[in-house]
Amino acid sequence: MTVLSVNVNKIAVLRNSRGGREPDVVRAASTCINAGAGGITVHPRPDRRHIVADDVLALAALCRGKVEFNIEGNGFAPARDGYPGLLALVRDVAPTQCTLVPDADGQLTSDHGFDLRADGSRLRPLIADLKDCGVRVSLFMDATADDIARAAELGADRVELYTGPYAAAFASGDPARTLAQCVAAAEKASRAGLAVNAGHDLNQRNLPDFAAAISNLAEVSIGHALIDESLYAGLAPTVHAYLEILRA
């Protein structure tokens, strides 16, 4: 079954807006794990707007031996006060997976994938360094990218399809073209020996069609929508609802 990895960044956003330790990111992640989630995802950013380095250490300890732990981020963002850099965090905690994304420092959220013709030469040594840590590496990619197969040549194990355009098209009532693009991208990745992850704006309404269409979907990373929905239904029941979709 496709792994559900819950992104807990939004829990940290809420905590940081008030200061202190509540809501507790580790407690929220533990609730998701106990409800059946197969992974926890974090995206620590240099501006420390949500997940911070201490959270990464605590969540790594929670996940170890239980579920997958996925750290997302820009591997080229320099270290600074309170942020040791993505590679340093990976070396410290040895997550299951590191998902590289081409985000600028102040970017609100991920909104595009890598252009491997432009970024490939920089990514290759970074991917090698991450693999030396014993970490699975995934690259965030647009479904329309014509160079997805090159991710394998650079040493990556997986690609994560950016599903924002699919979610937007689904919301407008006409997702057929963007869903077909995602299916084609997943097939290209599979032929290149890459496993396929997906994430961004997936929710309980648009996930069923997406998961049904992509037979080789290894993992979905869902944060914003899941936390939003859990405000009304509760965190554990919302995780259960997503797992039922993926089982179907």
CATH architecture of 3-247: Alpha-Beta Barrel (3.20)
**What's the pLDDT tens digit per position in 72-123?**
999 999 999 999 999 999 999 999 999 999 977 766 677 679 999 999 999 9
Catalytic residue (one of 22, 50, 68, 72): 72
Share of the chain above pLDDT 90, in %: 96
Q: Which of 43, 50, 160, 219 is catalytic?
A: 43
What pLDDT sits at residue 108? 63
Sign of CA dihedral 37, 39, 40, 43: negative
Q: Is the pLDDT of residue 2 over 70?
A: yes
43 is catalytic: yes
Residue 187 annotated as catalytic: no
Mean pLDDT of 16-45: 97
Residue-level pLDDT at 107? 65
**Which CA distances in Å does 200 have to 7, 134, 142, 225?**
10, 26, 11, 9
- Return d(Cα 202, Cα 216) in angstroms, integer: 17
Is 200 in the active site? yes
Where along the chain do its domains lie? 3-247
How confident is the model over 206-238, as pLDDT tens digits?
Answer: 999 999 999 999 999 999 999 999 999 999 999
Close Cβ partners of 191 (under 8 Å, ≥ 6 residues apart):
149
The pLDDT of residue 247 is: 96
Taking all residues of the chain, what is their mean pLDDT, rounded to a whole number? 96
Which residue among 50, 160, 200, 229 is the active-site one?
200
Q: What integer is the mean pLDDT of 16-23?
A: 94
Quick check: 50 and 14 in contact, CB under 8 A?
Answer: no
Is the predicted pLDDT of residue 48 greater than 70, yes or no? yes
Q: At what angle do helices 86-93 and 53-63 cross, to 10 degrees?
A: 30
The band of 64, judged by pLDDT with boundaries at 50, 70 and 90, is very high
